[in-house]
Amino acid sequence: MNEPEKMDLITIYILSRQYHVPAGSTILTALEYAGFKLKKGVGCREGFCGACASLYRLQGDYKLHGGLGCATVVQPEMQIVQLPYTPAPKAIYHLEELEPVPEVFTHLYPELYRCLSCNTCTKICPQDLQVMDYIQAAVRGDLEQAADLSFDCIQCGLCSARCPAEITQFNVALLARRLVGRYLAKKGKYVEDRIKEVEASKFTAGYQELQDLSPEDLKKRYFERELNNLIF
């Protein structure tokens, strides 16, 4: 019988308490190894949902770092806390009633104009976004740039937690993206055409046929599908 592999354990601190966890763990798996059962601050576990926002400090480094729990690998002497949720004002609006003009921010998120251009948000962003730049684009009224630069934002909330001007960057960006998508982005003609086809019942018979198949026949059809003919 082989000797069980000796796990390389490192020391980390969770909520200031010391734990020994396997090297190479992410913050989330380290928390679970340490015995925490995660109900909040965990989601897709693959860097997309923004639920696992975490704050940490590294040995010999005074800076406060922000990272996703699912994507940040723990290091020896790392001090960790999760920030599963940052309270944020969310303006209530109906997109149909808005116009894609800079004044929407004056009306819905006036605190935007408190921005100090200090880059504190940019420093903490786990997605390495140019947060200050997209906020400044919104201040200038450049909705498209604000939407473009904030595209990969997963709304983890760390920027808003750290912002000295108390702006909620991700909600401002969300509004910009929604306005751009609704009013400014090029319309996809193929989408409109497809919708017309669907409404003309072009696909109804095909779907019905699939729904009527037995599970075995469905499986057979699935594996025999011609990948080259996928509708894109």
Partner 1 sequence: MVRKIKLQAKNREFCRKISELSGEVVMLCEQCGTCAGSCPMSAEMDITPSQMIRLVQLGQEAVLENKTFWVCASCYTCTVRCPRGIDPAKVAEALRQVKLRQAIDYIQIDEISSEEAKKLPSVALVAAFRKMTG
Partner 2 sequence: MIQIPYYPGCTLKNKASNFETSALAAARALGLELVELPRWNCCGAVFSLSSDDLMRHIAPTNIFLRVQEMNRDHLVEDEYRLVTFCSMCFNVLRRTNQRLRESLEDRNKINDFSYLETETYQGRVEIVHLLELLRSMGWDKIQERVHKPLTGLKVAPYYGCMLLRPKDVGIDDPERPTIQEELLRSLGAEPVDFPLKLRCCGSYQTVPDKDLVANLAYDILSRAQKAGAEAITTSCPLCAFNLDFRQKEIQEKYPMFLPIPVFYFSQLMAIAFGLPQEVFGLAGHYANPRTLLATKGYLQATSPLEGGEG
Footprint of partner 1 on this chain (CB under 8 A)? Answer: 102-103, 106-107, 110-111, 113-114, 139-141
Which does residue 45 touch among partner 1, partner 2, none (CB within 5 to 8 A, set by kind)? none
Q: Would you count residue 164 as binding partner 2 (CB under 8 A)? A: yes
> How far is residue 68's CA from residue 62's CA, in Å, rounded to a whole number?
19
Cβ nearer to partner 1, comparing 25 with 169: 169
> How far is residue 80's CA from residue 56's CA, in Å, rounded to a whole number?
4
Binding mask 133-152 for partner 2 (x = CB under 8 A): x--x--xxxx----------
Cβ nearer to partner 2, comparing 140 with 182: 140
**Binding segment for partner 2 among 5-13, 112-120, 154-162, 218-226 (CB under 8 A)?**
112-120
> How far is residue 187's CA from residue 196's CA, in Å, rounded to a whole number?
15
- Reading the block at residue 104, the tokens are 């929407």
Burial zone of 228 (CB within 10 Å; 0-12 exposed, 13-18 middle, 19+ buried): exposed
Which does residue 123 touch among partner 2, partner 1, none (CB within 5 to 8 A, set by kind)? partner 2
What is the bridge-based pairing of β-strands 9-14 and 78-82?
A: parallel
> How far is residue 224's CA from residue 133's CA, in Å, rounded to a whole number?
49
Contact set with partner 2 (CB under 8 A): 102, 115-119, 122-123, 132-133, 136, 139-142, 164
